[in-house]
Structure 1
Amino acid sequence: MVDGEKGLDDEPRDTYRVAYIVHFLLGAGSLVPWNSLITAVDYFGYLYPEKHVEKTFTVAYMSCSVLVLFVMMSCGFCTTRLSYRLRMNLGFAMFIASVMASPIIDWTWKKGERDENVSYILTVGSVVLCGLADGLVGGSLIGSAGKLPKQYMQAVFAGTASSGVIVSVLRITTKASLPQTPQGLRASAHFYFIVSSTILFCCFLCNNLLYKLPVMQHHNKLLFRDEPLCSTTRIWEVGKKIRWPASAITMIYTVTLSIFPGFIAENLKSRLLQSWYPIMLITVYNISDFVGKSLTALYLWQSIKNATWACVARLLFYPLFSACLRGPEWLRTEIPVVVLTFLLGLTNGYLTSVLMIMAPKSVPAAEAELAAILMVAFLGVGLVSGSVLGWVWLI
């Protein structure tokens, strides 16, 4: 530890904050594929009108992502078989392939010409590939950033929060720029996926640029001298210490993913906004989630206990959104739904940031990184649980 502190004292200067910016971009890039898939709800709804696209995508993506994350942890997070750089490059290559799969399938498998079920299965397969890449990139990125000075972890989370806003603005721009016809819808979606893939390719290049920066070369010398984080005994011990914030983060994403994006995109309708309605709601959620995650820079809730109770209180979203679906006529209008969606994203972003910041601080410094990785794993459990519970709305 003394060597590490001495190394940090001798750390080269991050000129123009390039390393920080690259970590921000990598954080954003890690969620661009997922946000690209869910924000194109109008496009997939047109291609597969009889399928529950958003709910199916959510279960397929989240399950595969969490599976990879737990495999990485069980095998030792700091694996020696695949370097961090190789894992990231492989993950972003898988991201690009999965995002481009949708327009390629559409180009070669035109609607109505062949069996729609086959093209749908291929599309879901691309979502599975995307989920596997997410587990690989997300787990590697957070594990690496956890060993670096705290500003790099902050950059990663700031990037993930911004990705939803970036993709939503991109989808609105591409959709509005072309005629509101089936042909215009497909063309706008294809352009949207191509731009998203270009962003991912830039992240791929940035990931390889990162290791040529003097500041990162300095940190990597310290990074690879460390012992692997994970053993079953140590995971269990740290897990017991953070059981309350871990349970809370699971509850946050169980509630959120059971409502967003599936319920919001498929179950709620608007005669006024029509196909724009789910896109608008997803954009409102992404903006409020970004605002919530940014608020911790102004005020950080210091009590894990109070934050946990706040997570329990979010269960109230279930009856409130149910009322928007089956309640009085005035509750089934756009304004109450938009307000509830904003609050869903705001509380999700803020409480996630509070728990992810406070949980590692509740354990000794030597266990802080493992605590952060375990929090991500429990977050993933919430994602899968919520995506499965989202099907209950069909009852």
Structure 2
Amino acid sequence: MTHIDSSAVQIPTRVEGKFKASVVCWFLGLGGLVAWNSMLTIQDYYYELFPRYHPSRVLTLVYQPFAFGTMVVLAYYEATTDTRRRILYGYIIFFLSTLGLILIDLGTLGRGGIGDYIGICVFVAAFGVADACVQGGMVGDLSFMHPDFVQSFFAGLAASGALTSGLRLVTKAVFDKSDHGLRKGVILFLSLSTLFEFVCIFLYAYVFGKLPIVKHFRKKAALEGSKTVTSDLAAAGIHTEYNEKITDAKHERLSNKELLLENRDHAFNLWFIYALTLSIFPGFLYENTGEHQLGSWYAVVLVACYNVWDLIGRYVPLVESIRLESRKGLIVACVSRILLIPCFYFTAKYGDQGWMIMLVSILGLTNGYLTVCVLTVAPRGYTAPEQNALGNLLVVFLLGGIFAGVVLDWLWLINNASF
């Protein structure tokens, strides 16, 4: 068996270009969820168009099976999947689908109707496919690079929520008093999201792969037997030397089943984090929190609070002294969030809006913090192909948790007279 020593490609002690790569990862994370977060943030508009169709719950339920199902297939074939093509396809689908939402609204003049609703559902399903392509591909790719890249990517995912919430508040305020103001704000809002997706296509295709530090990590991954980086190396101008070594290298690696058994606690943690979060956000916030002083602004403010604190939570692990790395500690922290369920129930029934805003902030903070802690700890100690495979597997459980949470969210409607 031909063995190629991966130490032949050394990452410099002073990691050159790390900050620039982290910034690009942040923007790629932003593009990875900005389209879907746009859908979540304009639900007040869709409730006006489709008041009887439970859009916050139905659209989320449409999105998740496509995201989860596509991710399962891609994770199974991750070892031979062209990561570059997969990620670019994802961003292109996001771009075209967001543009499609604008065209549907313009074509129907914002009148609503079942045909309009079905068209929106089709594009939401496309968002799910794109999410699996981008999120799974990027997490797998970044798992064998510097841990800060994973953190930056997930901070970008959260930033997409904070940014869309901020933009939604601005557009709602600007157009609130004008004729068809809500619709005008939504069209402007979706147009900006479409622009963000186009920028991400450019960043991944022409910038990220050519950064020196990214090329170093991909060369190292190639020498450890990874076939998923071949296309990226070729696009960066590295053809013959490493491609031949990829072909010759035959490294023993753990199977997906073995990786999953060794990391079943991390897989469970991610599943549970998102199952609990999505059982509350966003459906419960739109339909089960009652009427308060903020009126029509209440749900928009709650979503904004969640997104801002989710973003803050993803930066907290950068402080080494408060970063949670103990596997037992992570399990305890994740499972303890179950206490939020009765807190939300009783606050919605008896509490005022201040308490609800505080609870939503805690939900976002813990969601972001624990996600980053799990995904930066899990890949340690594995070779690049194993890290890529593990990253994909963990995203499967993350999306599976979201899917479970979306289904569980419907339980809040039991005994709800409006259902």
Q: How high is the TM-score relative to the length of structure 1?
A: 0.90
Distance 1:110 1:201, change over 3 A: same
Alignment equivalent of 1:300, drawn from 295, 311, 323: 323
The answer on whether the counterparts of 2:275 and 2:402 sit within 8 Å (CA) in structure 1 is yes
The answer on whether the counterparts of 1:77 and 1:143 sit within 8 Å (CA) in structure 2 is no
Which residue does the alignment assign to 2:241? none
Which residue does the alignment assign to 2:10? 8
Alignment equivalent of 1:283, drawn from 304, 309, 318: 304
Q: CA deviation at 1:191?
A: 0.2
Which residue does the alignment assign to 2:391? 372
Distance 1:256 1:30, change over 3 A: same
| CA deviation profile, 1:161-203 (whole Å, cap 9, x unmatched) | 2221111111111211113356010001000000111111111
How many residues are treated as equivalent by the alignment?
A: 385
Q: Distance in 2 between matches of 1:118 and 1:23?
A: 38
Q: CA deviation at 1:15?
A: 4.9
Which residue does the alignment assign to 2:268? 247
2:49 aligned with 1:43, yes or no? no
Distance 1:28 1:120, change over 3 A: same
The answer on whether the counterparts of 1:26 and 1:203 sit within 8 Å (CA) in structure 2 is yes
Bigger drift between 369-378 and 306-315 goes to 369-378
Q: Distance in 2 between matches of 1:11 and 1:120?
A: 54
Aligned-partner residue type, residue 104 of structure 1: L
Aligned-partner residue type, residue 324 of structure 1: T
The answer on whether the counterparts of 2:136 and 2:391 sit within 8 Å (CA) in structure 1 is no
Bigger drift between 232-241 and 338-347 goes to 232-241
Q: Distance in 1 between matches of 2:252 and 2:160?
A: 33
| CA deviation profile, 1:25-67 (whole Å, cap 9, x unmatched) | 1111101111111011111111111111111121221221111
The answer on whether the counterparts of 1:76 and 1:228 sit within 8 Å (CA) in structure 2 is no
Q: CA deviation at 1:11?
A: 9.5
The answer on whether the counterparts of 1:270 and 1:334 sit within 8 Å (CA) in structure 2 is no
Q: Secondary structure at the match of 1:268?
A: coil
2:116 aligned with 1:119, yes or no? yes
Distance 1:304 1:213, change over 3 A: closer
Which residue does the alignment assign to 1:34? 36
| CA deviation profile, 1:177-235 (whole Å, cap 9, x unmatched) | 11335601000100000011111111111112223444444544444452459999711
Distance 1:32 1:217, change over 3 A: same
The answer on whether the counterparts of 1:292 and 1:348 sit within 8 Å (CA) in structure 2 is yes
Equivalent runs, 1:72-151 vs 2, <5 Å = 72-79=74-81, 83-112=82-111, 116-151=113-148
Q: CA deviation at 1:270?
A: 2.9
Alignment equivalent of 1:334, drawn from 345, 349, 353: 353
Question: What runs of 5+ residues in structure 1 fail to find an aligned partner?
Answer: none
Aligned-partner residue type, residue 266 of structure 2: P
2:192 aligned with 1:192, yes or no? no
The answer on whether the counterparts of 1:321 and 1:337 sit within 8 Å (CA) in structure 2 is yes
The answer on whether the counterparts of 1:60 and 1:128 sit within 8 Å (CA) in structure 2 is yes
Q: Distance in 2 between matches of 1:34 and 1:154?
A: 20
Q: Distance in 2 between matches of 1:268 and 1:12?
A: 51
Aligned-partner residue type, residue 316 of structure 1: L
Across the aligned residues of Structure 1 and Structure 2, the Cα RMSD in angstroms comes to 2.6
Q: Distance in 1 between matches of 2:327 and 2:212?
A: 38
Q: Distance in 1 between matches of 2:278 and 2:252?
A: 30
Alignment equivalent of 2:338, drawn from 285, 297, 315: 315
The answer on whether the counterparts of 2:18 and 2:213 sit within 8 Å (CA) in structure 1 is no
The answer on whether the counterparts of 1:269 and 1:277 sit within 8 Å (CA) in structure 2 is no
Distance 1:78 1:146, change over 3 A: farther
Q: Distance in 1 between matches of 2:135 and 2:160?
A: 14
2:178 aligned with 1:157, yes or no? no
The answer on whether the counterparts of 1:41 and 1:278 sit within 8 Å (CA) in structure 2 is no
Q: Secondary structure at the match of 1:360?
A: coil
Which residue does the alignment assign to 1:69? 71
